[in-house]
Amino acid sequence: MYGDMMKNLIKKAAKDIAAAKRITALTGAGISVESGIPPFRGKNGLWEKIDPMKYAHIDYFLQNPADVWNKFLKEMRSVISQAQPNDAHRGLAKLEEMNLLQTVITQNIDGLHQMAGNTDVIEFHGNFAWLRCLECNAVCQIGDADLSEIPPKCSCGGLYRPDSVFFGEMIPPLHLKRSHEIASACDLMLVVGTSALVQPAALMPVIARNSGAKIIEINPEATPLTGSTSNYLLMGTAGEIMNNIITELEGIAA
Ligand code: APR
CB 196 within 8 A of CB 222: no
Helix, strand or coil, per DSSP, at residue 254: coil
One-letter amino acid for residue 53 of the chain? M
Name residues whose C-beta falls within 8 Å of residue 55's C-beta, 6 or more positions apart in sequence.
Answer: 61, 67, 68, 71, 72
CATH fold for domain 1-36+85-125+171-254 = Rossmann fold (3.40.50)
Residue extents of the structural domains in the chain: 1-36+85-125+171-254, 38-82+129-164
Report pLDDT for 80: 93
Helix, strand or coil, per DSSP, at residue 41: coil
Q: Would you say the pTM of this structure is higher than 0.85?
A: yes
Q: Name the percent of the chain lying above pLDDT 70.
A: 100
In tens, the pLDDT along 120-138 reads 999 999 999 999 999 999 9
Which CATH superfamily groups domain 38-82+129-164? SIR2/SIRT2 'Small Domain' (3.30.1600.10)
Count of alpha carbons within 13 angstroms of residue 169, beta-carbon side: 19
Query: Per-residue pLDDT for 145 more than 90?
Result: no
Closest atom of ligand 1 relative to the 52 alpha carbon: 30
Closest atom of ligand 1 relative to the 108 alpha carbon: 34
Report pLDDT for 254: 81
Question: Count of H helices and E strands in the chain?
Answer: 10, 9
* Catalytic residue, candidates 57, 89, 113, 125: 125
How does residue 143 score in pLDDT terms, banded at 50, 70 and 90?
confident
Annotated catalytic residue 125: yes
* CA 71/CA 31 separation, integer angstroms: 24
In tens, the pLDDT along 6-58 reads 999 999 999 999 999 999 999 999 999 999 999 999 989 999 999 999 999 99
How does residue 1 score in pLDDT terms, banded at 50, 70 and 90?
low
CB 241 less than 6 A from any atom of ligand 1: no
What is the full DSSP assignment across 212-233? T-EEEEEESS--TTTTTT-SEE
